[in-house]
Copies of this chain bind each other. A is one copy, B any other.
Amino acid sequence: FALAAEVSLGGFAEMGVVGGEVNQLNEDDNANELVDRDGQFHTDVDVDFSLSGETDGGLTFGAEVDLDSTQEGGAFVPSEGGDDSYIYVSGAYGNLSMGDTDGALDFVMKEAIIGGTIDDVNEHAGYNGNSGLDGTYDGQVARYDYSFGAFSFAASAEIDDDSDSADADLFDDFEAAIDDIEDDTVLGVGVRYEGEFGGFGFGAGLGYQQTGDSDVIGLSLDMATAGGITAILNYSDYDNVPLSVGTFDNDSDAETDQIPFNAPINDHIGLALGYEVGAILVAVNYGVYDTTAGDVTGYALTANYDLGGGAELQAGYAHADYDDINDFEDTDNYSFGIRMNF
* Residues of chain A whose beta carbon lies under 8 Å from any beta carbon of chain B: 2-7, 9-11, 13-15, 22, 24, 35-43, 45, 47, 49, 51-57, 59, 61-63, 65-67, 69, 72-87, 89, 98-100, 138-142, 157-165, 167-168, 170, 184, 255, 307-311, 338, 340-342
Copies in the complex: 3
The residue of chain B having its C-beta at the shortest distance from the C-beta of A12 within the complex is: B51
Tell me, rounded to whole Å, the shortest Cβ–Cβ distance linking A174 to chain B.
16
Would A74 and B59 count as touching, CB distance under 8 A?
no
Contact of A75 among B11, B57, B84, B89 (CB under 8 A): B84
A251 to B211, CA, bound (A): 28
Contacts of A38 in B (CB 8 A): 159-164, 167, 170, 184
Cβ-defined contact, B86 with A74, below 8 A: yes
Q: Decide if A98 touches B43 in the complex (CB within 8 Å).
A: yes
Secondary structure class of chain A's binding surface, majority of residues: strand
How far, in whole Å, are A2 and B10 apart by their CA atoms in the complex?
A: 17
Which B residues are in CB contact (< 8 Å) with A160? Answer: 38
Q: A5-B340, A53-B340, A99-B15 are in contact. Are A24 and B163 (CB under 8 A)?
A: yes
Q: A35-B163, A53-B309 are in contact. List 6 more A-B contacts (CB 8 A).
A: A36-B167, A37-B163, A40-B161, A61-B340, A74-B99, A75-B83
Inter-chain contact A73/B82, CB cutoff 8 Å:
yes
List 15 A-B residue pairs with CB atoms under 8 Å apart, sorted by A's residue number.
A3-B309, A15-B99, A35-B165, A38-B164, A40-B159, A45-B51, A53-B340, A56-B307, A56-B308, A56-B309, A57-B308, A59-B311, A75-B78, A77-B78, A87-B340
A76 to B84, Cβ gap below 8 A?
yes
Chain B residue nearest to A42 in the complex (CB)? B140
Q: Which residues of B contact A67 (CB under 8 A)?
A: 67, 76
CB of A43 within 8 A of CB of B140, answer: yes
Enumerate chain B residues within 8 angstroms of A66, measured Cβ to Cβ: 76
Checking B36, B54, B74, B82 against A309 with a beta-carbon cut-off of 8 angstroms, the contacting residue is B54
Name A5's contact: one of B43, B98, B342 (CB within 8 Å). B342
Does B5 contact A7, Cβ atoms closer than 8 Å?
no
| B residues in contact with A10, CB < 8 Å | 7
A55 to B184 Cα, complex, angstroms: 50
Contact between A140 and B65, CB atoms less than 8 A apart? no
Whether the Cβ atoms of B85 and A69 lie closer than 8 Å is yes
Query: Residue A168 contacts which of B36, B55, B140 (CB distance < 8 angstroms)?
Result: B36
Point out the residue from B41, B56, B89, B141 that lies within 8 Å of A159, measured CB to CB.
B41
A81, A85, A165, A310, most chain B CB atoms within 10 A? A310
A139: chain B residues at CB < 8 Å are 73-74
Which residues on B sit within 8 Å (CB–CB) of A159?
38-41
Asked, given contacts A2-B309, A38-B167, whether A13 binds B63 with beta carbons under 8 Å apart, the answer is yes
